[in-house]
Amino acid sequence: MDEEPDVHFDIDALFGHMAADVDYNPEDELDWVFVLRSKDQGALEQVAQDLESDFTIEVQGSVEEIVDGKVTVGDPILTLSRVAAFTADDVKQIAAQVQAIADERSLTYAGVECYEAIDEDELFGWLAPEDAGWRLRGMTEVGLEENAELPWVFLAVAPSLDASTSIASALQEAGFSDRDDYDEADEEGDFAICVFVVGRNNELELDMASQKIAKIAESHGGKLLGVQFYTRDEVADVFGSGEEE
């Protein structure tokens, strides 16, 4: 039996996979990431300087990998990213350019990956609860260790102050004591409750917490509106602090 093609290097196979197995529209922009590795981080940083006008650059000096079931520290990596609606020929051309740089400077070309491009408003706005797991997967793909500590914040809304008070009381009884409960309505007439949790990079645990909070909110006429991965200070910086009880 023929081995499956490595889609990190076989670009035709990558586009074939996207066409057959995912909801791919050739006109959609994707985040294309080309990867270089080397034991010499300085060599990667020099490439980063040379290409910073052409790509979004990130150098990671310490990369954890799982080899034979054990966590090891791999060689530093350089990621070269560009958001565009590329054709297969476009990607092949850039891959050839990156491979040539690797050959010239004794680096390792580690292939290409692509992701759904993240809109800045989506990145910093509240995520729909059903989308939060996808964000966790994205964090894992770019290097966040599984089960690493991660702040979770849940935004619940209630149609009245009485409903908000009832939701807050039920959340308290359920162990969600770290909250900001707002006593003024927003522009839509809803009263917000922000629930802060010391969570982890664990999609199952996040989903369980989301379902629990959503059930509590819905039982008192409210709903779970959004999820993010911010501390209280970051929520205040991004969304504004508002007034709390």
Residue 73, Cα to own-chain centre: how many angstroms?
22
Q: Which domain holds residue 230?
A: 124-239
Q: Of 117, 141, 168, which closes a domain?
A: 117
Asked if the structure places residue 244 within a domain, the reply is no
pLDDT at 238: 64
pLDDT at 222: 95
Q: With 0.75 as the threshold, say if the pTM is over it.
A: no
pLDDT at 134: 83
Question: Measured between alpha carbons, how far is 158 from 191 in angstroms, rounded to an integer?
Answer: 5
Phi, psi angles (nearest 5°) of residue 223: -160, 160
pLDDT-derived band at 1, boundaries 50, 70, 90: very low
pLDDT at 28: 86
pLDDT at 36: 95
Instruction: Assess whether 178 and 95 both reside in one domain.
Output: no
pLDDT at 240: 60
Domain count, the chain: 2
In this structure, what token pair is assigned to residue 231? 């501390």
Instruction: Assess whether 84 and 138 both reside in one domain.
Output: no
Q: 55-68: per-residue pLDDT in tens?
A: 999 888 766 555 56
Strands (E), 18-89: 30-37, 56-60, 63-67, 70-74, 77-84
Q: 91-135: per-residue pLDDT in tens?
A: 999 999 999 999 999 999 999 998 877 555 554 578 888 888 888
Residue labelled with tokens 């040379």:
50
Please check the confidence at residue 243 and state whether its pLDDT lies above 60: no
Instruction: Assess whether 152 and 212 both reside in one domain.
Output: yes
All residues at 6 or more sequence positions from 69 whose CB lies less than 8 Å from its CB, including other chains: none
Instruction: Assess whether 132 and 190 both reside in one domain.
Output: yes
Asked if the structure places residue 3 within a domain, the reply is no
Instruction: Assess whether 71 and 135 both reside in one domain.
Output: no
Amino acid at 236: A
Asked if the structure places residue 82 within a domain, the reply is yes
Asked if the structure places residue 6 within a domain, the reply is no
pLDDT at 35: 94
Instruction: Assess whether 98 and 68 both reside in one domain.
Output: yes
Instruction: Assess whether 108 and 157 both reside in one domain.
Output: no
Q: How many CA atoms lie within 13 A of 39 on its CB side?
A: 0
pLDDT at 68: 60
Q: What is the CATH number of the domain that holds 182?
A: 3.30.70.970
